[in-house]
């Protein structure tokens, strides 16, 4: 059996460790790899644990677009074979190509760095080369982390079309539960078990554990997302820390500039220009000093309201899972008009986005008559418990609200849409009617909630993959006592046995 690993940036160390575990413990003989950055390529070339039959570097493919001749007929053939239903999603999911936002950054004023024709040529190059790569290498399966780039989307789309088993990291949004899914848009294993429980009278061995979890969560809910410690500072702390932060930023930028000027591949799309980064960092520092309290509205006891939490953006949760609902300001305006006329719409910012959105964004938000802009320090669970309805694009708050017996409406593809209690809005004109239905006819089904949690516990494993990813220490990942259990979840889905 042969596997292909999508070796994305820092995730390359995890991907390589997975390949080693699959080779040593589960008998996978060969691997090929798709690498996203030169830094990841340097790591793969330096390690001695896994010998890849072939490696394809996304940066090299991207740089070929300047010599690529636009072939409309070829694009039409690609669209007919790989379109969803057209090829736009392969482009719009890539924040670097669409908005000039490099990895790990969000940018201050995003704008496309390429013309439409250039985007099409980039896509042509990637489709042509990835198709050839798969035809030559013939992998039986591919492993991918959640990825929001054109190369990754093409890799995924071509693998699916060729019948190559595709497994993507998926998050259960309960504690640190993670699994592997065959579809970017949902958790396929969880859905299969959930359907089996609901339709085939199958009782999951995790039923009692799931029941206990729901009881505990209802009494004392704990958020899946935990902001980093000390991420919230008051204005005085920010001002005191500003000189040190600015000094460190300037020091970092000087070192980065030297490295950048010496880098023969500094024109790569994922290589960040240090001066561009400096402007971003300084702007973020300045924004961190502003006081938004004057814009915040206080929740009012007793009033009817819907709750909409703003999403991180750009992120795959919007760009891929809800590509037609990425303009959150416009969507909030539509939601406000779709609620009963006396309702308020409570909107709360996602903590990590506070310094990325300009003050003007929040002022535009507050122009919508029925909107209350709620302080980020307000407990989300208090808002959920006191709201009449929760409306989210694909946010975890929708899953948490469903477990807390609240009616939920989503706009994107997410695993908890499988709950009959949750309604997905596909067309904005339907939204007022879906809201009316959820407010007047909502029926909470506790058994259904327990069945979904049971399916998660059965398919996923409680493993802090994100923590290992952030550390990026290859030896630590290989020697983590829970790592073999994590890989065994994938091996089981591949039908592989364990070698002693």
Over residues 4-61, the pLDDT tens digits come to 999 988 899 999 999 999 999 999 999 999 999 999 999 999 999 999 999 999 999 9
User: For 55-104, what is each residue's pLDDT tens digit?
Assistant: 999 999 999 999 999 999 999 999 999 999 999 999 999 988 888 876 55
Q: Is the pLDDT reported for residue 325 higher than 50?
A: yes
Distance, CA of 35 to CA of 432 (rounded, Å): 45
392-419: buried (b, 16+ CB within 10 Å) or exposed (e) per residue? bbbbbbbbbbbbbebbbbbbbbbbbbbb
Q: Which of 110-119, 136-145, 314-323 has the highest mean pLDDT?
A: 136-145
Mean pLDDT, rounded, for 224-231: 54
User: For 237-287, what is each residue's pLDDT tens digit?
Assistant: 656 666 776 777 677 778 888 888 888 888 788 777 777 777 777 788 888
Q: Is the pLDDT reported for residue 500 higher than 70?
A: no
Distance, CA of 105 to CA of 95 (rounded, Å): 10
Distance, CA of 58 to CA of 37 (rounded, Å): 7
- Average pLDDT over the chain reads 91
Distance, CA of 162 to CA of 152 (rounded, Å): 15
Q: Is the pLDDT reported for residue 228 higher than 90?
A: no
Predicted pLDDT of residue 336: 98
Given pLDDT bands bounded at 50, 70 and 90, which one contains residue 225? low
Q: Is the pLDDT reported for residue 475 higher than 80?
A: yes
Angle at 365 between CA 383 and CA 437, to 5 degrees: 50
The pair of structure tokens assigned to 484 is 């073999």
Q: Is the pLDDT reported for residue 142 higher than 70?
A: yes
Q: Which of 94-103, 177-186, 287-296, 406-415 is predicted with the least confidence, judged by mean pLDDT?
A: 94-103
Mean pLDDT, rounded, for 402-429: 97
Residue with tokens 């990841």: 40
Length of the chain: 500
Mean pLDDT, rounded, for 223-227: 63
Q: Is the pLDDT reported for residue 230 higher than 60?
A: no
Assess whether the previous peptide bond of 327 is cis (omega < 30° from 0). Answer: no
Q: Is the pLDDT reported for residue 105 higher than 60?
A: no
Q: Is the pLDDT reported for residue 147 higher than 70?
A: yes
Q: Are 444 and 403 in contact (CB under 8 A)?
A: no
Angle at 48 between CA 45 and CA 53, to 5 degrees: 65
Identify the bridge partners of residue 55 per DSSP, sorted by sequence position: 33
Predicted pLDDT of residue 266: 81
Identify the bridge partners of residue 435 per DSSP, sorted by sequence position: none
Given pLDDT bands bounded at 50, 70 and 90, which one contains residue 472? confident
Q: Are 383 and 221 in contact (CB under 8 A)?
A: no
Predicted pLDDT of residue 232: 47
How much is the pTM? 0.90
Q: What is the dihedral of CA 61, 64, 66, 72, to 10 degrees?
A: -80
Mean pLDDT, rounded, for 182-209: 94
Given pLDDT bands bounded at 50, 70 and 90, which one contains residue 464? confident
Identify the bridge partners of residue 371 per DSSP, sorted by sequence position: 345
Assess whether the previous peptide bond of 37 is cis (omega < 30° from 0). Answer: no
CA atoms within 13 A on the CB side of 382: 11
Mean pLDDT, rounded, for 313-319: 86
Distance, CA of 158 to CA of 147 (rounded, Å): 15
Distance, CA of 357 to CA of 359 (rounded, Å): 7
Calculate the alpha carbon distances from 471 to 272, 332, 467 in Å: 21, 37, 6
Q: Are 127 and 78 in contact (CB under 8 A)?
A: yes
Mean pLDDT, rounded, for 196-221: 94
Q: Are 178 and 41 in contact (CB under 8 A)?
A: no
Q: Is the pLDDT reported for residue 340 higher than 90?
A: yes
């Amino acid at each position: 059996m042969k596997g292909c690993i999508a070796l994305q940036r820092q995730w390359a160390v995890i991907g390589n460790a997975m390949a080693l575990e699959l080779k040593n413990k589960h008998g996978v003989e060969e691997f090929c790899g798709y690498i996203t950055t030169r830094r990841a390529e340097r790591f793969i070339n330096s390690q001695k644990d896994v010998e890849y039959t072939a490696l394809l570097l996304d940066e090299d493919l991207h740089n070929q677009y300047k010599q690529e001749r636009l072939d409309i007929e070829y694009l039409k053939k690609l669209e007919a074979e790989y379109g969803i239903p057209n090829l736009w999603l392969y482009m719009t999911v890539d924040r670097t190509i669409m908005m000039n936002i490099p990895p790990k950054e969000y940018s201050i004023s995003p704008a496309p760095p390429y013309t439409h024709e250039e985007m099409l040529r980039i896509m042509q190059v990637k489709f042509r080369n990835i198709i050839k790569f798969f035809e030559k290498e013939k992998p039986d399966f591919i492993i991918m982390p959640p990825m929001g780039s054109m190369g990754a989307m093409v890799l995924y789309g071509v693998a699916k079309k060729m019948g190559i088993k595709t497994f993507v990291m998926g998050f259960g949004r309960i504690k640190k539960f993670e699994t592997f899914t065959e579809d970017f848009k949902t958790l396929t294993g969880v859905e299969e078990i959930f359907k089996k429980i609901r339709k085939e009278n199958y009782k999951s061995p995790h039923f009692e554990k799931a029941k206990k979890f729901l009881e505990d969560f209802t009494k004392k809910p704990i958020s899946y997302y935990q902001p980093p410690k000390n991420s919230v500072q008051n204005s005085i702390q920010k001002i005191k820390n500003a000189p040190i932060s600015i000094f460190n930023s300037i020091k970092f930028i000087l070192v980065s500039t030297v490295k950048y000027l010496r880098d023969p591949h500094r024109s790569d799309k994922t290589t960040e220009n240090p001066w561009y980064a400096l402007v971003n960092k300084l702007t973020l520092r300045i924004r961190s000093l502003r006081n938004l309290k004057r814009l915040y509205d206080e929740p009012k006891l007793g009033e009817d309201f819907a709750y909409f939490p703003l999403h991180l953006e750009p992120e795959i949760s919007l760009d891929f899972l809800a590509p037609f609902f990425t303009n959150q300001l416009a969507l909030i305006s539509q939601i406000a008009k779709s609620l009963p006329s006396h309702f308020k719409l409570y909107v709360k910012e996602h903590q990590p986005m506070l310094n990325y959105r300009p003050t003007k964004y929040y002022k535009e938000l507050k122009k919508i008559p029925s909107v209350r802009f709620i302080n980020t320090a307000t407990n989300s669970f208090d808002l959920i418990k006191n709201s009449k309805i929760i409306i989210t694009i694909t946010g975890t708050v929708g899953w948490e609200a469903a477990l807390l017996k609240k009616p939920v409406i989503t706009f994107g593809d997410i695993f908890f849409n499988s709950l009959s209690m949750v309604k997905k809005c596909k067309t904005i004109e339907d939204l007022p009617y879906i809201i009316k239905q959820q407010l007047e006819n909502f029926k909470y089904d506790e058994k259904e909630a327990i069945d979904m949690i049971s399916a998660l516990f059965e398919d996923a494993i409680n493993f802090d993959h994100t923590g290992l990813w952030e550390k990026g220490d290859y030896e630590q990942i290989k020697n983590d006592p829970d790592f073999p259990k994590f890989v065994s979840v994938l091996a089981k889905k591949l039908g592989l046995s364990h070698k002693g």
